[in-house]
Amino acid sequence: MIGLDLLAPEQPTQKIYGMVIGIVTNNQDPEKLGRVKVKFPWLTNAEESKEGAESDWARIVMPMAGGDRGLYMLPEIEDEVLVAFEQGNISQPYVMGVLWNGVDKPPIEKEEDEKNDLRVFKSRNGNKVIFDDTEGKERIVIQDKLGKNKVVIQDTIMVFNDKAKELKDLEPDKAQITLDASTTPVKITVGKDQDFLLEGTGNITLKNPDKDFEIECKNFTLKTSADTTIEAGGAAGITGDKAAFEGKSGMDLKCSSGVKVNSSSLEVM
């Protein structure tokens, strides 16, 4: 005998049109397609937990999404999202966006942006990128989670360390870079076996009028295409295991007072 259940009409798949609220339960897509799973607290049955049924993997609407490009920012677990279903099919969800609410609030207070001048990206741990369009004070700020280390791009580019001291001030129009560590030494380090090149088409000046200047290296070569002048306000000395002075077209030695030559062996040719 044929069971009566086989004669019963097929139950249609449940359709939900429009958009609904969901809560993210999983953002670790095994196929690495940037999908998430969502639970619907309002949709329950005997087979589901009291917290609501969980969806299949849902694709997320993202700006500029395409092959190896686009904005990549997955919602966090427990984030509230807005969900739609393809052709109303509840087994084919799409996350249309992420929602703020009374618990998950925007990353800035309204008092900080009364004229809607700020565009802010803030990560889960508090790192920030801020685009500030305040009239006459436009700037871009990149800062760490505590706000102690940051880069400010305005009329100049300023870098601040954890004591809020200015480290670098780059003025593009003047092509000027200033290093000012105030209370700590300035150190420039290059990688192992890497060259360090200081190059310019104008004059290069190293100035330290009140302190010492020291160069320490294996071999030192000073080469100029024109004249070379070494001038000391006090005594000048050159010491080496072997010293040689050579002039291809001549050499002048001048002194306003006496000249003293001290050698165990002197040969003049």
Q: How far is CA 217 from the centre of its chain?
A: 34
Say whether both 59 and 117 belong to one domain: no
Say whether both 83 and 26 belong to one domain: yes
Residue 81 burial (CB count, 10 A): 20
Residue 139, amino acid = R
Q: Which residue among 98, 129, 149 closes a domain?
A: 98
Q: Is the pLDDT of residue 232 over 90?
A: no
CA 235, 236, 239: angle at the middle one, nearest 5?
Answer: 130
What is the number of structural domains in the chain?
2
Q: Is the pLDDT of residue 178 over 90?
A: no
Q: Which residue among 98, 127, 142 closes a domain?
A: 98
Is 222 inside a domain boundary? no
Is 11 inside a domain boundary? no
Q: Which residue among 118, 137, 168 closes a domain?
A: 168
Per-residue pLDDT of 48-91, as tens digits, reads: 555 568 899 999 999 999 999 999 999 999 999 999 999 999 89
Q: Is the pLDDT of residue 167 over 70?
A: no
Q: What phi and psi values does residue 256 have, to the nearest 5 degrees? A: -80, -15
The conformational region for residue 68 under phi > 0 = left, psi -120 to 50 = alpha, else beta, is left
Domain limits at 152? 110-168
What is the average pLDDT across 195-214? 85
> Which of 163, 168, 126 minimizes the C-alpha distance to 151?
168
Structure-token pair, residue 152: 């400010």
| Band of pLDDT at residue 6, cut at 50, 70 and 90 | very low
| Band of pLDDT at residue 3, cut at 50, 70 and 90 | very low
| Band of pLDDT at residue 256, cut at 50, 70 and 90 | confident
| Band of pLDDT at residue 1, cut at 50, 70 and 90 | very low
Task: Decide: 77 and 22 in contact? Cβ < 8 Å.
Answer: no
Say whether both 79 and 30 belong to one domain: yes
